[in-house]
Amino acid sequence: MTLSALTVPMLSDNYAWLLRDDATGALAFVDPADAEAGAAAVDAMGGKLDLILLTHHHDDHIAGADAMRKRYGARIVGAAADAHRLPRLDQSVTEGDTVAFSTFEGRVIDTPGHTVGHISYFFPDGPILFCGDTMFSLGCGRMFEGTAEQFFASFRKIAALPPETLICCGHEYTQSNARFALSIDPDNAMLRAKAAEVDRMRAAGQQTVPVRLGDELPVNPYLLARDAPSFGRIRSMKDSFKG
Ligand code: ZN
Ligand code: FE
């Protein structure tokens, strides 16, 4: 019984994800912004799309969901708190709820901060986390709706997952996140090595995600933040950072 997570690049810098049950070929699709690109990826993987998982209400994560449900008969799962601004949900979920996928089960984690209704999906059998725009490699999403207290608490929940967890996030922002992280933590040798590796990967046209949680813990400034006020301070410095 194994689960695989595959990136599906969309729009300019979005990552949607395919979760695959390697035994049966069953698929779940996370954050389908673009139905055409999504369908191409699903068909290339055998076309058995059962489930669509939505992390939050922004258009660059949901715009293709209805068309993909129609095409494959997949069920759409999303946050109960945001049901009014998501495509019609077949299952609305909140913290601690489980989502059945093939013979596996995902656990819903409320991760507000980027938006108030943002959720993440954790599959212990990966272990794999789909965290949308909550956490990025070396960064976090913009704080559009939530508070620093909420965002910090969301990061504490992610930090408590197994270190081998594969972090599957919603954007390729790693290189600009690295520039900012280095500006506030220049003596962090692991961060310097990570930033050099990211530069090398981007120059070679490679994706820098997914990443392992354990590799992010010593280098991601928001995982390193001691408390909510410092989290908020780092987030607002990033907003005005010209790197
Ligand atoms: Zn977003
Ligand atoms: Fe986004």
Measured at the alpha carbon of residue 174, what is the angle toward residues 173 and 175, in degrees to the nearest 5?
Answer: 100
Residues 203-215 have pLDDT tens digits of 999 999 999 999 9
Read off the tokens for 122: 């954790």
Ion ligand 1 neighbours, Cβ < 5 Å: 58, 133
Cβ neighbours of 151 (radius 10 Å): 26
**Distance from the alpha carbon of residue 115 to the mean position of ligand 1, in angstroms:** 7
**Distance from the alpha carbon of residue 187 to the mean position of ligand 1, in angstroms:** 31
Ligand nearest to the backbone CA of 117: 1
Residues 41-81 have pLDDT tens digits of 999 999 999 999 999 999 999 999 999 999 999 999 999 99
> Can you give the CATH number for the domain in which 7 is found?
3.60.15.10
Residues 153-186 have pLDDT tens digits of 999 999 999 999 999 999 999 999 999 999 999 9
Residues 89-113 have pLDDT tens digits of 999 999 999 999 999 999 999 999 9
User: Is 0.95 topped by the overall pTM?
Assistant: yes
Give every CB contact of residue 100 below 8 A, 6+ residues apart in sequence: none
Question: What's the number of domains the chain is made of?
Answer: 1
**Distance from the alpha carbon of residue 143 to the mean position of ligand 1, in angstroms:** 10
> What does the pLDDT read at residue 34?
97
**Distance from the alpha carbon of residue 227 to the mean position of ligand 2, in angstroms:** 25
> Rounded to whole angstroms, how far apart are CA atoms 145 and 107?
23
In sequence order, what E strands does 75-225 have? 75-79, 91-93, 98-101, 104-110, 119-123, 128-132, 135-136, 139-140, 166-169, 211-212
Read off the tokens for 61: 């994560």
pLDDT category of residue 243 using cuts at 50, 70 and 90: confident
- Summary mean pLDDT of the chain: 98
Average pLDDT over residues 8-23: 97
Give yes or no for a contact between 2 and 23, defined as CB atoms under 8 angstroms apart: yes
**Distance from the alpha carbon of residue 79 to the mean position of ligand 1, in angstroms:** 14
Measured at the alpha carbon of residue 172, what is the angle toward residues 6 and 26, in degrees to the nearest 5?
Answer: 15
Beta bridge partners, 123, equal 128
Average pLDDT over residues 126-142: 98
Ligand nearest to the backbone CA of 14: 2
- Range of 138's domain? 3-239
Ligand nearest to the backbone CA of 11: 2
Read off the tokens for 57: 């209400």
